[in-house]
Structure 1
Amino acid sequence: MSAERIRVRGLVQGVGFRPTVWRLAHELGLLGDVRNDGEGVLIRLQPADPTDTDAIESFCARLRAECPPLARIDAVERTRLESRLDTTTFAILGSDAGAVHTGIVADAATCPACLAEIRDPTDRRYRYPFTNCTHCGPRLSIVRGIPYDRARTSMAAFPMCARCRAEYANPADRRFHAQPNACPDCGPQVWLVDAAGREIVPAELDAPDAIAAASRLLTEGRILAIKGIGGFHLACDATHATAVETLRQRKRRFAKPFALMARDPDVIRRHARLSELEAEWLASPAAPILLLERRCDSDLAPGIAPGQSTLGFMRPYSPLHHLLLADWDRPLVMTSGNLSDEPPCIDNADALARLSGLADHLLLHDRDIVNRVDDSVWRLMDGRPRPLRRARGYAPAPIRLPPGFASTAPILALGGELKNSFCLIRDGSAILSQHLGDLEEARTAREYRATLALYGELFQHRPEILAVDRHPDYHSTQLGRAWAEREGLTLIEVQHHHAHLASVLADNDWPLDGGAVLGILLDGLGLGEDGTLWGGEFLLGDYRSVQRVGHLTPAAMPGGVQAIREPWRNLLARLEDAGGWEHWRARHPDLEVIRRLEAQPIGLARNLIARGLNAPRSSSAGRLFDAVAAALGLGGETLSYEGQAAIELEALASTFARTSGTESGYVFDLDCSNRPWRLDPAPLWDALLSDLEHDLPPACIAARFHLGFAAAISDMGARLARDLAVETIALSGGVFQNRLLLESVAGGLRDAGLTPLVHRRLPANDGGLALGQGCVAAALTGDAAGA
């Protein structure tokens, strides 16, 4: 018989996949049907002519070649049927429910066809801000369940008019089964209010509609809260210094850079260097924020990105954004709609309550945001764009796990404390949540719990194993321990840097039984196997186990968590270890850095170090960056955001490297006498303080530190690799978001004949931690071993 049952797995719902199947079947003379169900798409096919033996083969080949732009085929499984189908047509059937084994497509930027419609005065969707089709529009942000049908989205509140229903029902239309399909007659609406909630009539501002009125207010220097796809933004004219400074004061975001949105590449190029690859990435359906090198002749307000050499740009990704920026030849600030450290608002009432003191006006609409989805952030590093934050445009697209993980039991990995995302693992696939934020903040912790419950229902995922970080004070760890005890689930506690190693291995498709690699894991800190705080680690291992074979020499963190917020504490601790405070004060009494330290309560801090009270020793690479930054007066006495001092230090070093070329790096000491080996930064302080004494430019000193540290890291990595007989080095941890350091270390390892593995789809920071936790749990429980 010539009839077949074809199962297609992957991202195949809500992307125009069934119309593509319908079209190909008609063109090839095939009969049967297609439907969505809990596992993906199910197709039944037979040629109209029973003697045609090639039609189904041609169909399968063309299905892969002509896959819709937002779809992703992971597998095509074909089964021959015993008898021919009783049909004379090819039909698209309604969706089946059932166990969910398929994925949800991420929210996608406006496609060219929809963009053309909203710009065409003769089109019925002219200037309609909710225009979409199967090639673009909201997905995760509006979905409540699977299969992905309108009734399971926030668009269920908007019955389609006759013309929209006709599009929705026509397999030849690109809006066939586009679940958010709508028009001005039947869909969501947008309106403008002032901070008190009073609606503003557009005619009052001599504007044709609310979006044009909002644009006019922005030109006057006003600050607007704008409800977008996955949450609210706060927007203002990026060239208006007073508006930018006012926004900083109201938002209480005093130093962290603002994201920018620009109409087109020409606008961006006036302010930042933009390569063709970066321009393509910005124009992709994901439309992320991309960090770009800032031009020195940019006329942006000084407060946009203080202390930075980069600017975070994105393109308009919804019809509303396109309409808002249509007449703007300069960028808009487009930062998260929240007070600093809080999660952004997603509903109108919350926005009016929380943002009315921040914004002068609010641009609202009545399509509910079901799931908060922040903007994704990427950066071109080591030859390709790499993620710093994975959210809108990417989550929750599944990631296929490497060979050996095909039969994993249901696992839920709960992630870390900062930059949290969690991970669902089942059937050899991982679903990472969107970036959720720092669980230290109460609102974020509540949202984290709610999102966990939503994903469990959305993907019908019932974990048998929970994976958590080993740190007992993490919110996610405490939640996982209580959950496991309550439900009788297996709990796997994964050491922080082991999870980082497993994350970069999985991100590079390293097989379960691919053998051990050397991991270089550099970050702020994580609880180590020995109960101390790690953060500058060289680990030999794989998914199942690791061995600490090297590390950065630990230093005290006087004041504990205060040392994370106040970089001078880390500088004092390093100077104490490298000769003692009195030695350096006597040797350089007139240095500004010495005077700055003397203005701090260093007596108390030194006492804590000497007595070992509230001064845990840590091998953290992040704290070493803070110490060097403090020596140069960067970051202030107290940091305004995580990583500020290190980011400003990189910006300074990058400026020097770009304008002055190469420079010799500071020397580190490598102690190979005992395992684990130690990399000691003590020698750099004499050279650094002498450079300050001789008025060497701070940018040169920052560059010398970066180059010296990178050379020391790659040299120690190469020596360990030879000693351990490995050829692959995995690089992970938030410090590797530093472009200068990453490229220098990866380049040094390649020059030594080694293969560095660098993150490609997940952040190197704790945003990628959950995938590593899940893979370690799968390996340790043995469910993956027999796959």
Structure 2
Amino acid sequence: MGRHRHRDAALSAAVDAVDAGGLVAVKGIGGYQLVCDATDAAAVARTRAAKHRPAKPLAVMVPDPDTAGRLAHLDAAEHALLTGAARPIVLARRQGADALAAGVTGGLPEIGIFLPYSPLHHLLLHALARPLVVTSGNRAGEPIATDPATARQVLAPLVDGVLDHDRPIHSRYDDSVARVVAAVPRVVRRARGYAPRALPLPVPTPEPLLAVGAQLKHTTALASADRAVLGPHTGDLENAETLAAFEQSVARLARLRGAQPTVVAHDLHPGYLSTQYAAAHFPAGRRLAVQHHHAHVAAVAAEHGLPEPFIGIAYDGLGLGDDGTFWGGEVLLAGYTGYRRIGRFGYAPMPGGAAAVRRPARMALGYLFGAEDLGARPPRLPAGLSARLDSREVEVVRRMVERHLNSPLASSAGRLFDAVASLLGVADDATYEGEAAIRLEAAASGHPSGGGLRWRLVRRDELWVYDPVPTLTDALERAASEPAGLVAARFHTTLVEVTVALASQVESPNRSVCLAGGVWQNRRLAAETVAALAAAGFRAYLGEEVPVNDGGISYGQAAVAAARLARR
């Protein structure tokens, strides 16, 4: 870098840099992007280092659908999604593995692939005639850069050049991500091409309200009358930069709707930066707390315009329950103004709290040493896991669990996925959110469902509770003679069976089931559960334009808060 070039010379310099294995920052429509040759392993490794992203898959841009079809298996629905006006990154089954550098997909059987949607993209692809890694211009945990000053300060030291244009970026928009599940396109990350399209509210709000979402995969929503505008994906609210991006998004939504919110809806968790924002900007009488999983299932119900009541099956990593414990495997009978908890997954300690999220091996130990006593004895520490772990870590975790030290209990489906992934030797650590569960799904791919593992429901404190201990015991016994991938497939089948059984315990005049929470991004689990629920006489619903992960929380909060305000 150092020399300034203009017009065709600038484009030629960028092409030459990428062609030589370099990394270039390119100004897009909603922010800067990092671009490199997707067939060059060294260039891909450099991109990962620049973004502090060691394993999470990188998206690949190709010039046309024919090229996409050589890299991914695309059915008719996926082809339509890829070529649609929104131009999202489409997650599809990979093929032609030799055509890309091995590091692009992080070892997963899926690829995120998309088509050009700006003139610079078309020019670069035409000149280079190869697939390109095109990823957001930021470092992990930070918002995408949108202005030249930030690009020079943050991105320029990481790249060989910055390809700019003179069109200002007024709103920050990442690329949207979508996939087809159960033959229906579903948005995983709602941003460019989808946001800020207005969504319906099942109950109109009597006054403008702001919903500030949760902490991860953050979005905000602004509701007025019978519509809610769901803002673009912000990222994870973990630092000052993402908090500033969140506040800018709030201001833009207010201008877009021409309405200043007088009420705010927020999560129960007091530690979330979004909750703290609500407390700092609205008086107590103008704040409505919405339980995390109620918001999840309400988002699905609201998008589909479902009547009350509806059955909600919320499976995710964590959300604060109204009893002060962490929830994540929940069965609710819900309406828009409230809900009743009908069932849950068995509790297990999270040794070290957030440390157990980053290290699934700790979650496995949590189940082995401290799973909720529902009548089944947890299995012993398996030799394979013991051999992979430092004996001192095992002993420290054991003492933490026994003494209830920094080991909060969670009824989490996501944490159960983590534990199974570690027990089967699929993933002991996670470098990004949900990695262990994603790798467990990948391990199961190619294996038939077969029979499930052992499981049972018990009654505890007037709730139906799934006891995961028999499932873990059976998984370890089978792993001694079956491939880990087959046991992983059996685990998926088990959760399908458990979900249908839990839904069947809910006494409801309606047979509508809303599947919500990040676990339902699992294509195999979602598709098989939708089919199994239909066979049992239920109508299952998943988010389509609204993500089932925490990116849909703000919309669910808006739907709940509007209904509560209307009831007042």
Match status 1:533 vs 2:326 = yes
Deviation at residue 343 of structure 1 after TM alignment? 1.0
Q: CA 1:564/1:504 → structure 2, altered by over 3 Å: closer, same or farther?
A: same
The correspondence of residues 612-691 of structure 1 with structure 2, limited to 5 A, is 612-637=404-429, 639-654=430-445, 656-657=446-447, 661-672=448-459, 675-691=462-478
Q: In 2, Cα distance between the equivalents of 1:571 and 1:277?
A: 38
**Which amino acid letter does the alignment assign opposite residue 492 of structure 1?**
L
* Alpha-carbon separation, structure 2, partners of 1:632 and 1:225: 40
What amino acid does structure 2 have at the position aligned with 1:199? H
The answer on whether the counterparts of 2:457 and 2:466 sit within 8 Å (CA) in structure 1 is yes
Q: Distance in 1 between matches of 2:550 and 2:460?
A: 32
Residue 702 of structure 1: CA displacement? 1.3
2:90 pairs with one of 290, 299, 313? 290
CA distance in 2, matches of 1:744, 1:258: 27
Q: Secondary structure at 2:103's aligned position in 1?
A: coil
- What residue in structure 2 maps to residue 317 of structure 1? 117
Q: Encode CA deviations 1:468-496: one digit per residue, 9 max, x unaligned.
A: 101111111111122222xx752110111
Note the alpha carbon deviations across 1:483-540, whole angstroms, 9 max, x for none: 222xx75211011111111111111112xxx221111000011110111000000001
In structure 2, do the counterparts of structure 1 residues 201 and 493 end up closer, same or farther at CA, with 3 Å as the change threshold?
closer
Name the SS for the 1:731 alignment partner.
strand
**Distance in 2 between residues matched to 1:430 and 1:541, nearest whole Å:** 20
Please state if 1:596 is matched with 2:388: yes
Residue 156 of structure 2 is matched in structure 1 by: 356
Structure 1 partner of 2:135: 335
CA–CA distance in structure 2, aligned partners of residues 394 and 229 of structure 1:
14
- Name 1:732's counterpart in structure 2: 516
> Which residue matches 1:543?
336
Please give the alpha-carbon distance, in whole angstroms, between the structure 2 residues aligned to 1:489 and 1:371.
Answer: 31
Q: How many residues end up aligned between the 2 structures?
A: 564
Residue 768 of structure 1 pairs with residue 555 of structure 2: no
Relative distance call for 1:223 and 1:236 in structure 2 (3 A) is same
Contact 1:267/1:329 (CA < 8 Å) preserved in 2?
A: no
Shift, 1:242, TM fit: 1.1
Q: Which residue of 2 aligns with 1:299?
A: 99
1:742 maps to which of 526, 543, 547: 526
C-alpha distance in 1 between matches for 2:509 and 2:201: 26
Residues in 2 aligned to 1:462 and 1:248: alpha-carbon distance in whole angstroms: 41
Query: C-alpha offsets along residues 353-373 of structure 1, whole Å, 9 cap, x if unaligned?
Result: 111232111111122111110
State how far apart, in whole Å, the 2-side matches of 1:693 and 1:770 are. Answer: 44
Match for 2:490 among 704, 710, 720? Answer: 704
Give the aligned partner of residue 181 of structure 2.
381
CA displacement at 1:308 relative to structure 2: 1.2
In the superposition, relative to structure 1, how do residues 394 and 336 fare at CA in structure 2: closer, same or farther (>3 Å)? same
Q: Matches of 1:358 and 1:652 in 2, distance apart?
A: 34
CA distance in 2, matches of 1:389, 1:600: 40
Question: Is 1:505 matched with 2:301?
Answer: yes
1:371-429 CA distances to partner (integer Å, 9 max, x unpaired)?
Answer: 11000000000111100000001111111223xx2453211111111111111111101
Residue by residue over 1:646-694, the C-alpha shift from the partner in whole angstroms, topping out at 9 and shown as x without a partner, is 111111112x23xxx3321212211147621000110122222222322
Q: How does 1:20-99 map to 2 (within 5 A)?
A: none
Superposition deviation, residue 753 in structure 1: 0.9
Note if contact 1:524-1:623 (Cα within 8 Å) is conserved in structure 2. yes
Which residue is equivalent to 2:400? 608
The answer to whether the aligner puts 1:779 opposite 2:563 as a matched pair is yes
Q: Which structure: larger Rg? A: 1
CA distance in 1, matches of 2:392, 2:523: 32
Q: Which structure has the higher relative contact order (CA within 8 Å, separation 6+)?
A: 2
Match of 2:225 in 1: 427
| 1:456 equivalent in structure 2 | 254
Asked whether 1:252 is paired with 2:252, we answer no
Q: Structure 2 vs 1, CA of residues 724 and 455 (structure 1 numbering), >3 Å: closer, same or farther?
A: closer
- Alpha-carbon distance, 1:441 to partner: 2.4
Q: Match of 2:4?
A: 199
CA distance in 1, matches of 2:204, 2:250: 23
Q: CA deviation at 1:707?
A: 1.2
Structure 1 residue 217: Cα displacement: 2.4
Task: Tell me the equivalent position of 1:446.
Answer: 244
> What displacement does 1:296 show?
5.4
Report Cα offsets for 1:111-146 as digits up to 9, x if no partner.
xxxxxxxxxxxxxxxxxxxxxxxxxxxxxxxxxxxx
Amino acid at match of 2:47: L
Gaps of at least 5 residues in structure 2 are none
Structure-2 residue corresponding to 1:569 = 362
Equivalent AA in structure 2 for residue 612 of structure 1: H
Cα pair 2:370 2:401 within 8 Å, conserved: no
* Cα distance change, pair 673–368 in 1 and its aligned pair in 2 (3 A): closer
Contact 1:270/1:298, CA 8 A, preserved across alignment: no
Cα deviation, residue 598, structure 1: 4.5
Secondary structure of 1:437's partner?
A: coil
- Does the CA-based 8 Å contact 1:271-1:298 persist in structure 2? no
Query: Given the alignment of the two structures, is residue 481 of structure 1 paired with residue 275 of structure 2, yes or no?
Result: no
Change (3 A) 1:346 1:667: same
CA shift in 2, pair 1:636/1:494, >3 Å: same
SS at match of 1:304: coil
Q: Distance in 2 between matches of 1:452 and 1:407?
A: 18
Partner residue of 1:272 out of 50, 55, 72 = 72
- 2: distance between equivalents of 1:357 and 1:645? 32
CA change 1:701–1:479 in 2 (3 A) is: same
TM-score by length of 2: 0.95
Q: How well do the aligned residues superpose, as a CA RMSD in angstroms? A: 1.8
SS in 1 for 2:531: helix
Question: Which amino acid is 2:411 matched to?
Answer: S
CA distance in 2 between partners of 1:373 and 1:673 (Å): 46
Worse-superposed segment, 407-416 or 623-632: 407-416
Determine the C-alpha separation between the residues in 2 that align with 1:752 and 1:720: 12
Q: Hey, what's the Cα distance between the residues in 2 that align with 1:483 and 1:251?
A: 33
Q: CA deviation at 1:569?
A: 1.0
8 Å contact 2:37–2:132 — kept in the other structure?
Answer: yes
Identity percentage of aligned residues: 41
1:415 matched to which residue of 2? 213
What is the letter of the counterpart of residue 75 of structure 2? S
2:119 and 2:130 map into 1 onto residues whose CA distance is 18
Taking the aligned partners of 2:499 and 2:155, their CA distance within structure 1 comes to 46
What residue ranges of structure 1 are gaps of 5+ in the alignment? Answer: 1-193, 203-207
State the one-letter code of the partner of 1:477. Answer: T
Paired AA for residue 350 in structure 2: M
Give the aligned partner of residue 559 of structure 1.
Answer: 352
**Counterpart of 2:505?**
720
- C-alpha distance in 1 between matches for 2:539 and 2:217: 28
Distance 1:726 1:662 in 2: 30
Q: In the alignment, which residue of structure 1 is the partner of 2:23?
A: 223
Shift in Å, 1:553: 0.3
Q: Quick check: 2:208–2:260 contact (8 Å CA) kept in 1?
A: yes
SS class of match (2:530): helix
Question: What is the SS of the residue equivalent to 1:409?
Answer: strand
Q: Which has the higher helix share?
A: 2
